[in-house]
Amino acid sequence: MKIKCLAIDDEPLALKQIAAYIDKTPFLEPIAFCQSAFEAIEYLTKNEIDLMFVDINMPDINGLDFVKSLEKKPQVIFTTAYSEYAIEGFQVDALDYILKPISYAVFLKAANKAKAWFELNQKQAEVVQTTQDFLFVKSEYKLIRILLSEIKYIESANEYIQIHLINNESVTTLIRLKVMEEQLPKDKFMRVHRSFIVNLDRVKVIERNRIIFDKNVYIPIGEQYKEQFQAFIDKTFLM
C-alpha cells in the first residue's frame, strides 16, 4: 500500500529535507508540500491525504493549532526543534513526534509506525460480500445486513464511517470511505465530497451546491466532484 503524504514547514530547507525523505521511502507517496498552515488548509478542502508531516513552530498558526482546527484529520507526525511540545503533540492523537535535526533513520522509524497503523486499520476494516441488493458490515462485534436501497448517504468520521438510513438510524463501522466507495455499485452511489457518498436514488433536492435530504441534513458537493455529479444531473434534466 502507498500512504499519501503532505508535509508542512515554513522553512524551505526543512521542507525540502522531509520531501526527500518521503520520496526515498517506498511505501510513502509524496502528494503536496506547503510552507504555511493556510496553504495546507486550502489544499485539504479539495484533496484527500492519509498522513501529514507537520512542523509545530510556524508563524500565524502553529502546527498544533492547525491540526486541532481540522474537522477531518489525516494521521499526523509532528516535526519540531523543541521537545517541550511532545506531550501536547500526543494529546492531539499524533502518531509520532520527531525532533529536528532529523536523520533519515529517525524519519523512517516514524514512517514505519505510520505504516503499521494503516495496515492494522486496513485489516480491521471488514466489509463482507456486497451484492446488487445488500451488504454486510461489522459494527460493535456484530455483522449487520443493510439493504442498499435503504441507504441515504454515507459519512466519513475519521477512520470510521456512518451509514445513514432512510429510517433516520445509522450504522457505524471501522472502514475508510474510499474502501466503502469501491464496494458500492457505481450506477447507484456517488462520492460527492471527500467526506460523503450519496445514494443517487435518494437525491431529491439540490440547492446551492448542496444535496438536501431534509431540513437538518445538507450534503455539500465538493469542488473536485462537481463535474461528475453534474453529468449525473444532466442525464435527466428537463429544461
Q: What pLDDT digit, counting tens, does each position of 103-150 carry?
A: 999 999 999 999 988 887 666 555 545 667 888 888 877 888 899 999
Output the CA–CA distances (angstroms, integers) from residue 209 to 201, 212, 227, in the order listed.
18, 10, 12
pLDDT over 60 (residue 207): yes
pLDDT digits (tens, 9 = 90+) for 50-65: 999 999 988 888 888 8
pLDDT in tens, 6-41: 999 999 999 999 999 999 999 999 999 999 999 999
| Three-state secondary structure readout of 144-156 | EEEEHHHEEEEEE
Half-sphere exposure of 166 (CA within 13 A, CB side): 10
**Intervals of CATH 2.40.50.1020 along the chain:** 127-236
pTM over 0.85: no
Query: Which pLDDT belongs to residue 171?
Result: 93
Instruction: Please provide the average confidence, as pLDDT, over all residues in the chain.
Output: 87
| CA–CA separation, 199 and 203 (whole Å) | 7
- For residue 188, give the amino acid letter: K
Q: Is the pLDDT of residue 235 over 70?
A: yes
Say which CATH topology domain 3-124 has. Answer: Rossmann fold (3.40.50)
For residue 215, the tally of other CB atoms under 10 A from its CB is 6
Q: Confidence class of residue 223 from pLDDT cuts 50, 70 and 90?
A: confident
Identify whether the C-beta of residue 129 lies closer than 8 Å to the C-beta of residue 114.
no
Q: Does an H or E element contain 190, and which?
A: strand 189-193
Contact 80, 63 (CB under 8 A): yes
Identify the pLDDT of residue 124.
Answer: 55
CATH architecture assigned to 127-236: Beta Barrel (2.40)
The DSSP bridge partners found for residue 69 are none
pLDDT at position 128: 46
Name the segment(s) of the chain with CATH classification 3.40.50.2300.
3-124
Place of cell 508540500: 33
Beta 75-80 vs 160-165: how paired, if at all? unpaired
Instruction: Please answer whether residues 76 and 92 qualify as being in contact, where contact means their C-beta atoms are separated by less than 8 angstroms.
Output: yes
65-111 pLDDT, tens digit each: 898 888 778 999 999 887 665 555 555 678 898 999 999 999 999 99
Start-to-end CA span in the chain (Å): 46
pLDDT score, position 160? 86
The stretch 164-191 carries a mean pLDDT of 88
DSSP string, 57-108: --SSS-HHHHHHH-SSPPEEEEEES-GGGHHHHHHTT-SEEEESSPPHHHHH
Give 214's strand partners. Answer: 217
Position 166: which residue type? I
The pLDDT assigned to 121 comes to: 67
What helix, strand, coil percent values describe the chain, rounded to 5? 35, 35, 30
